[in-house]
């Protein structure tokens, strides 16, 4: 995977992490956007949009056919952000198994 970091004056103000796998359904490489964070005082400044665009460009240049991500069900702001950036809700339902 990769971690892309946004910096201002040499200090980190945001990050996005991508993981890669192969989708048998699509017959090719896909990306999983595992995490994206922007420092609270820099949210709304375009940093998240820039990080997301960089992540999409990295995934495309790496031959990925899709990016998947999750948001918390209650996080309407994140869902609105990703919709504005062209993401659509998936009919797939996530399941987890804690290994702790």
DSSP for the chain, written as a single string: -EEEEEEETTEEEEEEEEEEEEETTTTEEEEEEEEEEE-GGGTTTTHHHHHHHHHHHHHHHTT-S-EEE---TT-HHHHHHHHHTT----S---------
Say what the pLDDT of residue 75 is: 94
Q: Do the Cβ atoms of 69 and 33 come closer than 8 Å?
A: yes
- Looking from the CA of 1 toward its CB, the CA atoms found within 13 Å total 14
Say what the pLDDT of residue 22 is: 97
The architecture of the domain spanning 2-84 is 3-Layer(aba) Sandwich (3.40)
For the full predicted model, state whether its pTM sits above 0.85. yes
pLDDT tens, residue order, the chain (100 aa): 999 999 999 999 999 999 999 999 999 999 999 999 999 999 999 999 999 999 999 999 999 999 999 999 999 999 999 999 999 999 999 999 999 9
């Amino acid at each position: 995977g990769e971690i892309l970091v946004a910096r201002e004056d040499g200090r980190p103000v945001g990050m996005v992490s991508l993981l890669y796998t192969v989708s048998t359904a699509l017959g090719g490489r896909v990306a999983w956007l595992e995490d994206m964070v922007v420092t609270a005082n820099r949210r709304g400044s375009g940093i998240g949009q820039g990080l997301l665009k960089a992540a999409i460009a990295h995934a495309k240049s790496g031959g990925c056919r899709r990016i998947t991500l999750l948001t918390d069900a209650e996080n309407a702001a994140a869902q609105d952000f990703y919709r504005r950036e062209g993401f659509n809700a998936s009919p797939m339902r996530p399941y987890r198994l804690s290994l702790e």
